Amino acid sequence: MIAMTAQASAIQSPFSRNIFFVSKNPKEARQNRRKCIKPRDSIDSPPDRQSKWGLSRVGGYWADPASRHPPGRRMESPQYMGAHHHHGHGSGHSHSHGHDHEPGDGNGHDHHHDPHDVHAHAHEAALGAFRWSMLLNVTLVVAEAIAGVMIDSVALLADAAHNLGDVLGLLLAYAAARLAVKKPDARHTYGYARSTILAAMVNAGILMFACGALTLESIDRFSASHQPSGIIMMAVAGLAVLVNAGSALLFWRSQKHDLNARGAYLHLAADAAVSIAVVGAGLLITLGGPNWLDPLISLLVNAVILWSAIQLLRQALDLSLDAVPAHLSVADIDRALKVIPGVRALHDLHVWPLSTTVAAMTAHIEHDGIRDSDELLADAQDVMARKFNIHHCTIQLENVGCRQRCEDYPAP
């Protein structure tokens, strides 16, 4: 059987030098405005299925021509092949956890991965947000530090120090986001996407450290008698509110599905809250209010920061332990796959994060032996992508005997 990626594998037409990309997912062919051709081993066979988009299905695959590539290049070269693979197996295939397929059982073993460019746009948007946020916050730190020294304001200096810590956190998150798009190599076959999880953990630690430092500073200020200029405090802290709130908005969309971006978002939102507290303290000082209101507001803000940091750390630890991402449910995935026509049972279902944004899934599906295996696999892949946004799938079709051997040799 021809080895190919589920979404971007190359074969060559016997009539030209065109490189063609074949797919089991008809929606991807439609999305890329692709034309249909037949696989090389079925070039003389009539189409066995016509899609609602006018694409022909031959031998279980949807195919389309791509751009011409220079002659003489190997078609299996990584330059033309996807970063992942999709393959089918006939009889005699075995797996490391201790079972083989009976001859002639028609079992399939399918790997389905999304091409590299599916997440490229989201990564680029996040990188742009990191760059702008770092630039704005570095400028803010310098302004707050200068103003704090000029008017002898501990609150402004503390806010500047807090923002400086967030700049360092943004640098870590930015570096992790850059590593996330780095291609896999021989040693790191999954790539470097999990660096975003490590960055989220470090960011949570920085938040907790900054929270502790600000808490100590707030406690010390209960006994302080010095009152800085309230008007300057309000002006500089008000600028900080605008900068931090604007920077946080840059991450508003990406933070909903990217834990690394969420860490940066929480950093900036916490900074905005702290700056609001400083504005309030400046207003109270200007109106002649007591000194203890400033540290009291700071303590309340620190409590909010600490709670956010703990939640971020808990989520990052779960992902580092390969826990199912919070937005996914194994029970929902199990039910969605079992209702696919031709599926009799499902076992060895595993879902884990590859990064703070990308999840992977493996499963063994017991099929009825009647429905075409390629169609069943295509439907399973479509369900995972459409309902759960999981594009990295490894699905193995089995019969009853294979399931019994899986139970005898369970995966860890």
Higher pLDDT, 110 or 204: 204
Q: For residue range 340-382, what is the model confidence (pLDDT) as tens digits?
A: 999 999 999 999 988 777 889 999 999 888 888 899 999 999 9
Tell me, what's the pLDDT at 215? 83
CATH number at residue 378: 3.30.70.1350
Tell me the average pLDDT across 256-269.
72
pLDDT at 260 > cutoff 90? no
pLDDT digits (tens, 9 = 90+) for 223-235: 776 666 778 888 8
Identify whether residues 151 and 188 lie together within a single domain. Answer: yes
**Whether residues 147 and 291 fall in one domain:** yes
**Lowest-confidence region among 32-41, 139-148, 205-214, 272-281:** 32-41
Q: Are residues 334 and 367 in the same domain?
A: yes
pLDDT band at 136 (very low <50, low <70, confident <90, very high): confident
Q: Which is more confidently placed, 119 or 213?
A: 213
The pLDDT assigned to 223 comes to 76
Domain boundary among 291, 320, 349: 320
Do residues 166 and 181 both lie within one domain? yes
pLDDT at 406: 56
Number of domains in the chain: 3
Q: Do residues 154 and 303 both lie within one domain?
A: yes
What pLDDT is stored for residue 104 in this prediction?
Answer: 40
- Over residues 41-49, the mean pLDDT reads 39
Residues 73 and 178 both lie in one domain: no
| Residue 9 structural domain | 1-82
- Per-residue confidence (pLDDT) for residue 139, from 0 to 100: 87
- Same domain for 158 and 253, yes or no, is yes
Of the candidates 272, 299, 320, which is a domain's last residue? Answer: 320
Please give the pLDDT value at position 368.
86
Q: How far is residue 275's CA from residue 71's CA, in Å, rounded to a whole number?
A: 61
Specify whether 277 is located in the same domain as 139: yes
- Contact between 159 and 237 (Cβ < 8 Å): yes
| pLDDT value, residue 174 | 76
* Whether 365 and 253 share a structural domain: no
pLDDT on residue 116: 44
pLDDT at 72: 36
Point out which residues pair with 362 in neighbouring strands: 350, 394
Are residues 4 and 108 both part of a single domain? no
* Same-domain status, 311 and 250: yes
Q: What percent of the chain has pLDDT over 90?
A: 13
Q: What's the CATH number where 208 sits?
A: 1.20.1510.10
Out of 59, 82, 105, a domain closes at 82
Regarding whether 130 and 276 lie in a shared domain, the answer is: yes
